[in-house]
């Protein structure tokens, strides 16, 4: 890891300068945090699984016309991505009541929403990622109305596609968080593309039959079997490394 210049260390990933200009290497850690860093832990093998799961989902989304930052996976814990300027928003799409939506409105978790809800949060750890409206976003210049139209339409397309994909493997996509970045092509034209990661760290995934949680809520709420849940998501998607979970433990040494 020391070969390359580290650009940024986040809670679950480290970003390094990529091999070519305009590229970044995303290294996926096993570190897990919740409640804005108040709860910390390790989920063994999580980095390997999230690298693989995010690769798989970003590739499927590219195939159906969503532009993403993903270029290729480099090894067990790293992927090469396009350098973008991250829009400081966490875009949450919800299909079923859970988490902060349940708390905020005093609703029972599990109720299917009459329509999908898209929410924006200002990405700022010190402030605890406060929820914001389009008015705040445009007034403070984080994005303009055209950007927001693009973000909203991409978020809903991603939701439709991923809901179907997960349904096909017996998983309910309850909600998830996306991040977008500005990418400039060789003609200096800017496009918003999907960035960050899509993994059980930032999605709520429930077993279709039992409603059992298969995501980071197992860590947040101390439900146990966290590693197993992430592995099960990868297994259902058909992408668990060949040797199964044993391969993942060993892969911790691959830097
Ligand atoms: P919430 O119900 O806690 O607002 O979370 C909604 C979705 O966003 C859920 O799938 C988890 C994801 N999420 C993140 O990825 N990062 C975060 O910091 C938070 C609060 C939620």
DSSP string, 83-119: --EE-SEEEEEEEE--HHHHHHHTPPTTPEEEEEEEE
Q: Are residues 75 and 95 in the same domain?
A: no
46-72 average pLDDT score:
98
pLDDT tens digits, 141-165: 999 999 999 999 999 999 999 999 9
Domain-located, residue 116: yes
CATH of the domain at 21: 3.30.200.20
pLDDT tens digits, 166-193: 999 999 999 999 999 999 998 999 999 9
Q: Are residues 80 and 101 in the same domain?
A: no
For ligand 1, atom 7: residue with the closest CA? 176
State the closest ligand 1 atom to the C-alpha of 204, by its place in the atom list counted from 1: 10
Ligand 1 pocket: which of 38, 177, 194, 233 to mutate (most atoms within 8 A of CB): 177
Q: Are residues 114 and 147 in the same domain?
A: yes
Domain count, the chain: 2
Domain-located, residue 243: no
**253: which residues sit within 8 A by CB, 6+ positions away?**
none
Ligand 1 pocket: which of 99, 130, 163 to mutate (most atoms within 8 A of CB): 99
Q: Are residues 54 and 99 in the same domain?
A: no
Q: Are residues 38 and 131 in the same domain?
A: no
For ligand 1, atom 20: residue with the closest CA? 35
- SS3 percent helix, strand, coil of the chain, rounded to 5, is 30, 30, 35
Residue 42 has pLDDT above 80, yes or no: yes
Residue 252 has pLDDT above 60, yes or no: no
Q: Sign of the CA dihedral 244, 59, 163, 136?
A: positive
Burial (Cβ within 10 Å: 0-12, 13-18, ≥19) of residue 106: exposed
Q: What pLDDT sits at residue 255?
A: 39
Q: What pLDDT sits at residue 243?
A: 64
Domain-located, residue 107: yes
Q: Are residues 30 and 120 in the same domain?
A: no
Measured at the alpha carbon of residue 160, what is the angle toward residues 133 and 34, in degrees to the nearest 5? 55
Q: Are residues 149 and 194 in the same domain?
A: yes
CATH of the domain at 174: 3.30.470.20
198-205 average pLDDT score:
98
Q: How confident is the model at residue 3 (pLDDT cuts 50, 70, 90)?
A: confident
Q: Sign of the CA dihedral 225, 227, 230, 234?
A: negative
Evaluate: CB of 206 within 6 angstroms of ligand 1: no
Residue 99 has pLDDT above 80, yes or no: yes
State the closest ligand 1 atom to the C-alpha of 98, by its place in the atom list counted from 1: 2
| Spacing, Cα 230 to ligand 1 middle (Å) | 16
Nearest to 34 by CA among 109, 95, 100: 100
63-80 average pLDDT score:
98
- Measured distance CA(111)–CA(164) in Å, rounded: 19
| Spacing, Cα 195 to ligand 1 middle (Å) | 16
Q: Could you tell me the CA-to-CA distances from 42 to 33, 115, 218 in Å, in that order? A: 8, 35, 13
State the closest ligand 1 atom to the C-alpha of 216, by its place in the atom list counted from 1: 11
Residue 75 belongs to domain spanning = 6-84+225-237
| Spacing, Cα 24 to ligand 1 middle (Å) | 25
Q: Are residues 69 and 176 in the same domain?
A: no
State the closest ligand 1 atom to the C-alpha of 201, by its place in the atom list counted from 1: 15
86-113 average pLDDT score:
98
Residue 100 has pLDDT above 50, yes or no: yes
Q: Are residues 125 and 57 in the same domain?
A: no
Q: Are residues 68 and 120 in the same domain?
A: no
Rounded to two decimals, the pTM is 0.95
Domain-located, residue 212: no
Domain-located, residue 23: yes
């Amino acid at each position: 890891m020391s070969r390359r210049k580290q650009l940024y260390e986040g809670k679950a990933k480290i970003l390094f300068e990529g091999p070519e200009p305009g590229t970044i290497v995303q290294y996926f850690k096993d570190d897990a945090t919740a409640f804005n860093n108040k709860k910390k832990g390790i989920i063994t093998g999580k980095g390997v699984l999230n690298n693989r799961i995010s690769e798989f989902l970003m590739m499927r989304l590219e195939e159906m016309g969503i532009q993403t930052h993903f270029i290729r996976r480099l090894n067990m814990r790293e992927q090469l991505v396009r350098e973008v300027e991250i829009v400081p928003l966490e875009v949450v799409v919800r299909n079923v009541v859970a988490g902060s939506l349940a708390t905020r409105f005093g609703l029972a978790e599990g109720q299917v929403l009459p329509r999908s809800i898209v929410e924006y949060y200002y990405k700022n750890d010190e402030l605890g990622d406060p929820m914001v409206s389009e008015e705040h976003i445009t007034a403070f210049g984080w994005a303009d109305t055209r950007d927001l139209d693009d973000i909203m339409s991409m978020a809903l397309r991603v939701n439709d596609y991923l809901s179907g994909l997960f349904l096909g493997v017996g998983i309910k996509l309850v909600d998830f968080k996306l991040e977008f970045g500005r990418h400039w092509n060789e003609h200096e034209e800017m496009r918003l593309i999907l960035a960050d990661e899509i993994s059980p760290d930032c999605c709520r995934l429930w077993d279709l039959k039992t409603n059992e949680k298969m995501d980071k809520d197992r860590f947040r709420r101390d439900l146990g079997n966290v590693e197993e849940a992430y592995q099960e998501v990868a297994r259902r998607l058909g992408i668990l490394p060949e040797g199964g979970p044993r391969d993942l433990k060993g892969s911790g040494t691959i830097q």
